[in-house]
């Protein structure tokens, strides 16, 4: 596969995801809620998680409708988490994706509700009625997403993160926090793509994909921490008005910049080696996505 094959696949995948999100996030939720939900989701974001779902589904010849729904569902959970994470009770950010954050634009109560409604919508998307997607596949997708987003995943990691402000963390504790807070949803994206398989996967294929997802999840956060100190965060529209966040431990604060870069490269290698060990033939998009995540500059 050439770089341009991947670019073509990725552009087409992103167009499908964008269109589906535009169609599925309701305009008409009452009293301005729909507007706040659409503001939080549309016109922004790298859509890394949907691409991981679709690339993993491609590798296992997954059910196309289930894969598109899973790709959108995980992005809705991600969008909800960003809305809540930006609120004054958490990171208190005023800019996200180059725009005012949802609570700045719509008020805190509406931001809370928009996050809640996006979370619920994610599970509604996974369980359409009627549907060609087998009920067992729908249930597996819901289970994978719920586990990734809940107390054993993203929300649990966020709780650890909030409790660690101002605390020195060991590398192991930092790894654990990030595996949950950021890694679980990225790994969950790969698990959801795998759950779209229409035939039972071999143990090697499943294990390889899970290992790949775990490496990608941590790599994403390590690179995020590196970019926080090397990129112009105001230009990226990521942060402004941070208070507690400035005092949070990161890979760069715990390991230093050079060791963080080396760790990101090792995790990229680990992701590739996990794919080598899977018995899947069609993993070129997953390989290219691993390169994109490790070498990204935003
Ligand atoms: C509020 C339950 C709850 C969880 C929040 C995801 C998260 C947990 C917090 C986000 C805080 C943050 C900025 C973490 C760094 C890594 C990360 C998830 C960055 C944002 O993800 P990207 O880069 O964002 O995929 P885009 O805008 O491209 O979608």
Give the pLDDT of the chain (298 residues) as one tens digit per residue. Answer: 787 899 999 999 999 999 999 999 999 999 999 999 999 999 889 999 999 999 999 999 999 999 999 999 999 999 999 999 999 999 999 999 999 999 999 999 999 999 999 999 999 999 999 899 999 999 999 999 999 999 999 999 999 999 988 888 888 999 999 999 999 999 999 999 999 999 999 999 999 999 999 999 999 999 999 999 998 644 444 444 444 556 678 899 889 999 999 999 999 999 999 999 999 999 999 999 999 999 988 8
CA distance 106 to 253: 34
Indicate which residue's Cα is closest to atom 10 of ligand 1.
82
- Cα angle: 72, vertex 242, 34; to 5 degrees: 35
The ipTM is: 0.93
Those residues with Cβ within 8 angstroms of residue 78's Cβ, 6 or more apart along the chain or in another chain: 45, 49, 185
pLDDT of res. 164:
86
Contact at 8 Å (CB) between 42 and 92? Answer: no
CA distance 54 to 71: 7
* Domain locations along the chain: 3-294
Q: What CATH number labels 3-294?
A: 1.10.600.10
Lining ligand 1 with CB less than 6 A are: 45-46, 48, 78, 81-82, 84-85, 97, 154-155, 158, 181-182, 221, 224
- Provide the whole-model pTM: 0.94
Ligand 1 centroid – CA 266 distance (Å): 22
Ligand 1 atom with minimal separation from the 115 CA: 1
Ligand 1 atom with minimal separation from the 96 CA: 27
Contact at 8 Å (CB) between 297 and 227? Answer: yes
- Name the strand (E) or helix (H) holding 141: helix 135-149
Contact at 8 Å (CB) between 40 and 83? Answer: yes
Contact at 8 Å (CB) between 257 and 227? Answer: no
CA distance 176 to 228: 20
The residue among 177, 171, 176, 182 whose CA lies nearest residue 253 is: 171
Indicate which residue's Cα is closest to atom 19 of ligand 1.
224
pLDDT of res. 246:
62
CA distance 287 to 276: 10
Contact at 8 Å (CB) between 244 and 165? Answer: yes
- Name the strand (E) or helix (H) holding 267: helix 257-277
Determine how many CB atoms are found less than 10 A away from the CB of residue 20: 17
Q: For residue 153, which phi and psi values (nearest 5 degrees)?
A: -135, -125
In DSSP terms, which residues pair with 62 in a beta bridge? 197
pLDDT of res. 141:
98
Ligand 1 atom with minimal separation from the 78 CA: 6
């Amino acid at each position: 596969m050439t770089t341009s094959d991947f670019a073509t696949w990725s552009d087409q995948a992103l167009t499908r995801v964008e269109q589906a999100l535009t169609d599925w996030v309701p305009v008409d939720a009452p009293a301005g809620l729909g507007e706040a939900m659409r503001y939080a989701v549309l016109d922004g974001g790298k859509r890394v998680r949907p691409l991981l779902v679709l690339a993993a589904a491609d590798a296992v010849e997954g059910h196309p409708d289930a894969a598109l729904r899973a790709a959108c569902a995980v992005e809705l959970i991600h969008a909800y988490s960003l809305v809540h994470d930006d609120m004054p009770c958490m990171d208190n950010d005023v800019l996200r994706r180059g725009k005012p954050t949802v609570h700045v634009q719509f008020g805190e109560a509406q931001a809370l509700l928009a996050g809640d409604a996006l979370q619920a919508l994610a599970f509604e998307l996974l369980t359409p009625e009627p549907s060609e997607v087998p009920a067992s596949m729908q249930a597996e997708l819901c289970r994978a997403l719920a586990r990734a987003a809940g107390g054993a995943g993203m929300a649990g990691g966020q709780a650890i993160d909030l409790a660690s402000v101002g605390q020195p963390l060991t590398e192991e504790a930092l790894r654990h926090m990030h595996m949950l807070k950021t890694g679980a949803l990225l790994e969950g994206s790969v698990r959801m793509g795998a759950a779209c398989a229409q035939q039972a996967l071999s143990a090697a294929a499943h294990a390889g994909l899970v290992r790949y997802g775990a490496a990608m999840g941590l790599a994403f956060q390590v690179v995020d921490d590196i970019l926080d100190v090397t990129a112009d965060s105001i230009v990226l529209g990521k942060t402004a008005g941070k208070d507690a966040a400035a005092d949070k431990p990161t890979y760069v604060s715990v390991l230093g910049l050079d060791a963080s870069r080396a760790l990101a490269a090792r995790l990229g290698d680990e992701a590739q080696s996990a794919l080598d060990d899977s018995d899947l033939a069609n993993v070129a998009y997953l390989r290219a996505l691993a390169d994109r995540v490790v070498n990204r500059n935003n």
